Amino acid sequence: MYTLTATELHARFLDHTFSAEEITRYFLKRIEKFDPEIGAFLATFPERALSKARELDARYARGEKVGKLAAIPIGIKDNIHVKDELTTCASKFLINYRALFDATATKLLEAEDAIIIGKTNLDEFAMGSSNEHSALQETSNPWCLDCVPGGSSGGSAAAVAARLCPITLGSDTGGSVRQPAAFCGVVGLKPTYGRVSRYGLVAFGSSLDQIGPMAVSTEDVALVMEVLGRRDPHDATSIQAHSDDYLAQFDGHFEGKKIGIPLAFLKDLNPEASACFDRAIEVLKTLGCEIVEIDLDILKYSIATYYIIATAEASTNLARFDGIRFGVRAKEAKNLTDAYSLSRTAGFGPEVKKRILLGTYVLSAGFQDAYYKQASKVRAKIIESFEQAFQQCDAIATPVAPTAAFPKNAIRCPLNMYLQDIYTIGVNLAHLPAISVPSGFNGAKKPFGLQLIGAKREDPLICRLAHAYEKAAPYSREIPEKFDREVE
């Protein structure tokens, strides 16, 4: 069962090879057996999952209609609400916070009969690129247990890579779905901003955040998008998306489609990553794509721009965690000011504090013009450059990250860690869709990812392209050796 994609698993449920209960027990057992070594899950929901599975089996036995995701176990990043369960955001601050409502994404998955199996680890409040900022638990990369799984949706990526469940949800503010997907050799999509509702996702940078699926195959990612990609009145930035038919009319041909490559911007890529990227481009050519050079040099400013805008938004969003309305209240507090400051001092980890400080600084009266407003202007230029690029091409290809997964504790300098996001962040600033699809391995058998970026609302196009790429170069079906076996 573990070698199957979600789509295949769902088909085996429909043809009565497996019941939903069997599937659920099977994956719960894999989690129990393998996750102590990986640390992908912060919580599992055996009772909830099994009762949903039994209910589904009974309904199916009565001949009733079942949903598109029936019997597929799904893990959810622990910054997305599942009603009555903890939403910790991997922070000590929210260790006691139970969600009062379902995120729209959770609701839509369950309405299509997915089985919510547990919550996955992340960098605290989704701030990070390695999962090393989780205040609760370490997560290891299933391809190399000494290495990070990437971040911030590292738990979600590692869970799929070790086939602890076939689909997970992550969130992507600057690369947090795509970079861990690349590090763990799975597929991950960051949808067009507004395509998936943010209602019930704990906000980090509200103008950047998107929930996105991670899975074993592009087909599975597309399937989840057909379920999640709808307008939601609970999210004021939610958009009306047209196509919910991602792969159905797809014939696999890309003759004449133009793929833009920002060659100058990629010139400093390390040789290993660069060789892998070149091979991926050759594959795209064999699909009939035409390669054109585009200019996205402006993206060299994207990290500086992002770390002003994202921290500004984070400092505002995280103001609600005060120990009164949300979060653990410091016991020693004697008055209101104490309650705020002691609770925040004890509750937030160092990376989160750093970002709140930076964000408050760039928004402060004396510096707003120099930093926040300036960054907003550069953001507008970045958007413009992408628009110009899309006049020359149908999609853009880049690597996902500058390197393969790195060893834990290897990157000490925060600025070097921020460089991890150099190829992913511009996409969030410009509200574009982008997919990360496995594109091979380095000599140490660590995965790389190819990023395909689409114009706004072109999520189906990049899924089709990734799907065709994956057919020609099926790296996403490879499983880390250690976890490529049944549990007894």
Residues labelled catalytic: 77, 152, 176
| Shortest CB 285 distance to ligand GLN, Å | 31
Q: For ligand GLN, which is the closer residue by CB, 156 or 238? A: 156
Choose the stretch contacting ligand GLN; rule: CB under 6 A; options: 127-135, 341-349, 402-410, 468-476. Answer: 127-135
Binders of ligand GLN: how many residues, by CB under 6 A? 13
**Site track 269-308 with ligand GLN (rule: CB under 6 A), x = hit:** ----------------------------------------
Strands (E) across 350-477 are located at 395-399, 434-441, 447-454
* Contact status: 176 vs ligand GLN (CB under 6 A): yes
Q: For ligand GLN, which is the closer residue by CB, 21 or 421? A: 421
| Shortest CB 84 distance to ligand GLN, Å | 25
Q: State the sign of the Cα–Cα–Cα–Cα dihedral 375, 298, 317, 418.
A: negative
197: alpha, beta or left? (left if phi > 0; alpha if psi -120 to 50): beta
Q: For ligand GLN, which is the closer residue by CB, 73 or 151? A: 151
Choose the stretch contacting ligand GLN; rule: CB under 6 A; options: 126-134, 371-379, 445-453, 474-482. Answer: 126-134
* Contact status: 174 vs ligand GLN (CB under 6 A): yes
Instruction: Report whether 17 contacts 60 (CB < 8 A).
Output: no
Site for ligand GLN in 189-228 (CB under 6 A): 204
| Shortest CB 286 distance to ligand GLN, Å | 32
Q: For ligand GLN, which is the closer residue by CB, 209 or 220? A: 209
| Shortest CB 174 distance to ligand GLN, Å | 3
Helices of type H across 194-270: 218-228
> CA 169 to CA 213: how far, in whole Å?
5
Considering only residues 173, 305, 398, 451, which one is a binding residue for ligand GLN as defined by CB under 6 A?
173
> CA 131 to CA 90: how far, in whole Å?
10
What is the greatest pairwise CA distance in the chain? 70
Structure tokens at 211: 């929930």
Considering only residues 134, 152, 156, 197, which one is a binding residue for ligand GLN as defined by CB under 6 A?
152
* Contact status: 165 vs ligand GLN (CB under 6 A): no
* Packed helices 302-317 and 374-392: angle between N→C axes, nearest 10 degrees: 120
Q: For ligand GLN, which is the closer residue by CB, 20 or 159? A: 159
| Shortest CB 416 distance to ligand GLN, Å | 12
**E strand or H helix that includes residue 42:** strand 41-44
Buried b (16+ CB within 10 A) or exposed e, 175-210: bbbbbbbbbbbbbbbbbbbbbbbbbbbbbbbebbbb
Q: For ligand GLN, which is the closer residue by CB, 204 or 372? A: 204
Residues forming a β-bridge with 72: none
Choose the stretch contacting ligand GLN; rule: CB under 6 A; options: 155-163, 169-177, 356-364, 376-384. Answer: 169-177
In terms of Cα–Cα distance, which of 133, 152, 130, 163 is closest to 210? 152
Choose the stretch contacting ligand GLN; rule: CB under 6 A; options: 171-179, 223-231, 287-295, 337-345. Answer: 171-179
Residue 359's contacts (CB-CB under 8 Å, 6 or more residues apart) are: 310, 311, 312, 313, 314, 315, 316
Residues forming a β-bridge with 215: 167, 187
Considering only residues 158, 182, 310, 453, which one is a binding residue for ligand GLN as defined by CB under 6 A?
310
Q: For ligand GLN, which is the closer residue by CB, 57 or 421? A: 421
Query: Which residues are near ligand GLN by CB under 6 A?
Result: 126-129, 152, 172-176, 204, 310, 421
